Every structure is written in structure tokens, then in C-alpha cells.
Amino acid sequence: MAGELNGTSVFLEVFNTDTGRWAVMAGELSSAPALTNGLVEVTSKSSNSFQEFLTGKGTQSFVLTGDWVFNDDVDFQFVRDAANAKSKELFRILRGPSATGTVDQFEAIVSTAADSAPDGDKVTSNFTLNATGEFELVRTWLLVKNSAGENVKNSAGEQLYSRSDS
């Protein structure tokens, strides 16, 4: 199917409050993002024995569980420290090429963190991020270009992207 997402080029970023920048911290091996709706039941006698729910109401949650390979020991330790402190961090998942991929952005608490270190192979980490508060899923970002069609960068030399609402 054209335009379908797959597990290629999926990265986890975290917002570094010290630098005010996003940093890629891990590459995905596998993940299972789950969006859950807590429904409000409004079944009554007039429901004729069928269950009914209130539309557009109730709670919503997002949980991301996955296996990841960290870029370095600092990123590995960041997740460990966040799990130990039960701190809320700002994450985003980049899927596909940066210029045309999608982004899920959410504040989350690390609820589970486990590692696998097979003999003679890379260490992988499995952790679960539970979104807290509002979250925004599947945003598409496009490269910002000037009138000459050249990519626009900020004063730090970073490529600028614009959110696509289409």
C-alpha cells in the first residue's frame, strides 16, 4: 500500500530542557504504541438490551512499549534516571524520513525499563512510556524551503520543519 508506515527509520527523541533542543536518543527495533479510550456507558432501559456509550467523552491514554537501541550511554542513563525519579519527560517518535515522516509527541513517565545483553551482541532496552496529560499523535512535518527551493536553517544550522495540518 502506498504511503504505509513500517518499522524502518523509527527514532525516539527527548526534549533536553538544558539545551532547549530535541535529541535522538534511541532507534527502534520493535514497538507497540497503544491508544485506549475509556468510554462512558449510558445504557438505559430504552437501549433494548444493547450497550450504549456517550460519544466524544471519557478518558484517553497512550502507552508506548518497545525494544530500542540507545545511541550512547548518556541516553541509556537518561531513561534509567527518568524511571528512578518517576519524572515526566517530553518525548516524540519520528517515523520515516525526517522530511516526510510522521511524529507522535507526548509527555510521559517511564513505567517499565528492562535490558537484554546477549553474549557478544548489542544491549537492547525494553521500556514502557505512559503518556500523561494531553498528547498529539501522527503529525506530519515538511521541510521549510525558501522561494528558491532551498532548505531553510536556523542560526544554529538546524533544518527547519513546518507542521502539515493536511
Q: Which domain does 109 fall in, by range?
A: 10-36+59-140
Top mean-pLDDT range of 68-77, 98-107, 135-144, 151-160: 68-77
CA-to-CA distance for 166 and 150, rounded, in angstroms?
Answer: 22
69 falls within a domain: yes
* pLDDT at residue 166 greater than cutoff 80: no
Instruction: Specify the DSSP element, H or E, that contains 81.
Output: helix 73-85
Q: What is the pLDDT of residue 24?
A: 86
Dump pLDDT digits (tens) for 81-102.
999 999 999 998 888 765 556 7
105 falls within a domain: yes
148 falls within a domain: no
The total domain count for the chain is: 1
What band does 110 get if pLDDT is binned at 50, 70 and 90?
very high
CATH classification at residue 63: 2.40.30
Q: Which residues of 23-50 are buried (b: 16+ CB within 10 A; e: fewer)?
A: eebbebeebebeeeeeeeeeeeeeeeee
Contact indicator for 12, 23 with CB cutoff of 8 Å: no
More confident residue, 47 or 158: 47
Q: What is the pLDDT of residue 51?
A: 94
Q: What is the pLDDT of residue 31?
A: 86
41 falls within a domain: no
2 falls within a domain: no
For the residues 30-39, what does the mean pLDDT come to?
A: 90
Put simply, whether the predicted model's pTM sits higher than 0.75 gets the answer no
Q: Which three cell numbers stand for residue 136?
A: 498529539
What band does 135 get if pLDDT is binned at 50, 70 and 90?
confident
44 falls within a domain: no
120 falls within a domain: yes
What does residue 73 show for φ and ψ, rounded to 5 degrees? -65, -30
147 falls within a domain: no
What band does 9 get if pLDDT is binned at 50, 70 and 90?
confident
